[in-house]
Structure 1
Amino acid sequence: MKAFADPSYVLGLLEDLLNIPSPTGYTGAIMKRIEEEAERLGLSCERTPKGMAILTLPGESQETLGLTAHVDTLGAMVRSVKENGRLRLTPLGGYAMSSIENEYVTIHTRSGESYAGTVLTTHPSVHVFPDVRDQKREEANMEVRIEADVTSRKEAEAMGIRVGDFVSFDPRAQLLENGWIRSRHLDDKAGVASVFGLLEALIRMKKKPAKTLKVFITNYEEVGHGAGWLPSEVNELLAVDMGAMGDDLTCTEKQVSICAKDSSGPYDYEMVSKLIRLADREGLAYAVDIYPQYSSDASAALRGGQNVKAALIGPGVHASHGMERTHREALWNTIALLAAYVLEA
């Protein structure tokens, strides 16, 4: 089962997705790419008013299993245009401000223009400011320098830059020959690529899932309400999102993570037990962990009042919400576990 996925397909799609800016709330371009990929695979794809994509793959029975993964990422919006022409940010998603210091960004205006920028502290030079090392890395002390002839608010606004414009972080994606993958936004584009890797393999190998699959590609997970609504026929939901690493967690970047509990509480006992049993049966590299500072689209569904049982798996990712890293083995283990789960009646 570990050889289930087509590596060139999964890695090619992952690299493509990583390089499409998609901060939460600004996901039009990447959702168009999702629609194109669904069409290429011959899958029906509909969109909800909020923008979520729903892909359907018929199964052996009329029962419906939901799979979810999200394409929205961390990012920022312009909170204010400062008198010096630099931009104060407001974060989209939960990350440490220190993790974006010195990052290259793109400012996306409402008129359709894009401009390069760099995130800096307000005291960025050791040759000028004595408190460079001690200045607190918080929202008020961070700003975007626009890489253009801009020295005032008037000049920035003349370019079309306004409060509420979106700011995306350069992913700096690298898929290394030794199997390591480093990039921003592996949360959760590695999960999305894994789900599509499953779908492509099922279609290519003419294998029908035991239940009809409804695949939800969400666009508001990073702010907590991506899968808050689900169609009524879904009574079981498996979220595919990154597996966290560190502290007393056991997951590695080559394993598929099975989450037993996160901040929303314990996941469904039967689903988690089945996932563990299947991972053992298939000889997969996996870990079972608890994430006390984590939530998922499955969490959003449960908190939104959906009457479903839910579970969460995903490829192990180091330094989540920062400069992330995983390994292609984690993708293969995730896809193999998904395949075992959806094919078992």
Structure 2
Amino acid sequence: MDFVNLDYILDQLIQLCSISSPAGNTQKAMDYLKRQLDDLGISYTSTNKGALIATIPGQEINVHRHIAAHIDTLGAMVKEIKSNGRLKLAKIGGYNWNTVEGALCYIETGAGNRYSGTILNTHSSAHVYEDHAKQERNDDNMELRIDEKVKNQDDVLSLGIDVGDFVSFDARTRVTESGFINSRHLDDKASAAILMGALKHIKENNLLLPYTTNFMFSNNEEIGYGGNASITPETKEYLVVDMGAIGEGQTTDEFCVSICAKDSSGPYHFDLRQKLVQLAQRHKIYYKVDIYPHYGSDASSALRAGFDIVHGLIGPGIDASHGHERTHKDALSNTAELLIHYLLAQ
């Protein structure tokens, strides 16, 4: 595909992954997106919950489309300051502790100070603990080791660290010469970058969309209610751009745009799914249709909230979801192409 600026999408992805934004603490990422939208000359509003909605007026103003990607990520919060100066954590979002064991992380205090650390199991030394490998990785057996001279609770408190402070995981973003993107939080910053690429393409080419379209960057998807509000009454179709799930029994790979037929909330709208499939076929876009068994989206949360909408879900195929994820430039390209063809279609 040569009509969308893939370099721009990649740059947006890298920049977004460098900004910590666990659900509940996403303002820095939203401020970054506001600056990008200002540079493109695209108007936007912020919701009371902190989501960002950019609007492109269309030929038909009485019918709207709603496009959503989420900017919030998995993370944690300080649950307890332990007597040994380490931190017990409470998870934000759904993941297993083994996926962040050994991860570099950051604690952000209420005053805005930032400290680095590492997430470990409490019996982390193989030379000391016989059950090092067998110890269960659960809430009680995981802790954060702070990169400061702290030996007790008072030492930690003196840094300004306290219960309720947010913890984010270092994304460790890396793009290989072969086109693979390795990073945490590709769910869903890859899709947010794709939305930015679509907005840039529309604006720079003065494209007239058939319908007024609202692009939402939601901020609470990982905790279940990111895109379930601030949907205009004129909205008929709601398309989420989120990761395509890869694994045993799935058709999705790291190179396609994945079109979701069903997730844990139930089937997505059949007619919209077929429209997306036909667009992909017509424009020779590499796609796969899949079912995501343990998954929910901003669109499914909007349906639970009672909105009368047609809902769909597409996204780049991403491996090792909610772990250290990987996708390929081709998946970004195929997803961006399908999204733009959808936006231009009646």
TM-score interval, smaller chain: over 0.9
Secondary structure in structure 1 of the residue aligned to 2:209: coil
Superposed displacement of residue 104, structure 1: 0.5
Please give the alpha-carbon distance, in whole angstroms, between the structure 2 residues aligned to 1:127 and 1:232: 62
Q: Deviations over 1:76-120 (max 9, x none)?
A: 000111111100011111011000001000000001111011001
- Equivalent residue letter for 2:12: L
8 Å CA contact 1:184, 1:324 repeated in 2? yes
Mapped to 2, the partners of 1:294 and 1:4 lie a distance apart of 31
Equivalent residue number for residue 196 of structure 1: 196
Give the whole-Å Cα distance in 1 for the aligned partners of 2:48 and 2:199. Answer: 24
TM-superposed CA distance for 1:3, in Å, is 2.1
Give the equivalent residue in structure 2 for 1:33: 32
Q: How far did 1:32 drift?
A: 0.2
Aligned counterparts, 1:331-342, within 5 A: 331-342=332-343
The C-alpha deviation readout for 1:18-70, integer Å capped at 9, x for no partner, is 10000000101000011111111111111011001010011121121000000
Alpha-carbon distance in 2 for matches of 1:70, 1:267: 19
Q: Which runs of 4+ in 1 moved over 3 A?
A: none
Partner of 1:249: 250
Q: Which amino acid aligns with 1:318?
A: D
Partner of 1:138: 138
Amino acid at match of 1:27: T
Structure 1 position 208, deviation (Å)? 1.4
Paired with 1:321 and 1:103, the residues of 2 have a C-alpha distance of: 13
Question: 1:3 is matched with which residue?
Answer: 2
Give the superposition deviation at 1:228. 1.2
**C-alpha distance after superposition, 1:245-270 (max 9, x if no partner):** 00110111000000000011111111
Q: TM-score by structure 2 length?
A: 0.98
Counterpart-to-counterpart distance in 2, 1:90 and 1:205: 46
Structure 2 partner of 1:319: 320
Counterpart amino acid of residue 224 in structure 1 = G
Aligned residues of 1:90 and 1:139 also touching (Cα < 8 A): yes
SS of alignment partner, residue 244 of structure 2: coil
Distance 2:177 2:261 in 1: 33
Name the amino acid aligned to 2:322. H
Does residue 238 of structure 2 align to residue 265 of structure 1? no
- SS for the counterpart of 2:293 is coil
Q: Tell me the CA shift for residue 231 of structure 1.
A: 2.2
- Does 2:309 correspond to 1:308? yes
Equivalent in the alignment of 2:67: 67
Give deviations 1:207-248, integer Å, cap 9, x for gaps.
111111101100000000001112222121000000000011
Counterpart-to-counterpart distance in 1, 2:112 and 2:345: 47
2:117 maps to 117
Matched residues in 2 for 1:56 and 1:268: separation? 24
CA contact (8 A) 1:3 1:332 kept: no
* Cα distance in 2 for residues equivalent to 1:160 and 1:313: 42
Report what 1:54 is aligned to. 53
- Segment of structure 1 superposing worse, 6-15 or 179-188: 6-15
SS of the equivalent of 1:200 reads helix
In the other structure, the counterpart of 2:176 is 176
The alignment yields a C-alpha RMSD, in angstroms, of 0.8
Tell me how far apart the structure 2 counterparts of residues 96 and 132 of structure 1 sit (CA, whole Å).
Answer: 18
* 1:115 partner SS: strand
The answer as to whether partners of 2:64 and 2:232 remain within 8 angstroms in 1 is no
For residues 298 and 65 of structure 1, what CA distance do their matches in structure 2 show?
12
TM-score normalised by the chain length of structure 1: 0.99
| Contact 1:4/1:335, CA 8 A, preserved across alignment | no
Matches within 5 A, 1:143-222: 143-222=143-222
Query: Which amino acid in structure 2 is aligned with residue 32 of structure 1?
Result: D
Amino acid at match of 2:119: V
Return 5+ residue gaps in structure 1 as ranges: none
One-letter amino acid of the counterpart of residue 89, structure 1: L
How far 1:177 moved relative to its partner? 2.1
Partners in 1 of 2:74 and 2:286 — Cα distance? Answer: 28
CA contact (8 A) 1:111 1:160 kept: yes
Q: Secondary structure at the match of 2:55?
A: strand
Q: Which runs of 5+ in 2 are unaligned?
A: none
What is the distance in 1 between the residues matched to 2:49 and 2:117?
29
Paired letter, 1:269: F
For 2:154 and 2:114, locate their aligned partners in 1 and report how far apart those are by CA, in whole Å.
18
* Structure 1 residue 306: Cα displacement: 1.3
Q: Any idea what SS the aligned residue of 1:307 has? A: coil
Matches of 2:207 and 2:2, distance apart in 1: 15
Question: 1:52, 1:219 within 8 Å by CA — same for their partners in 2?
Answer: yes
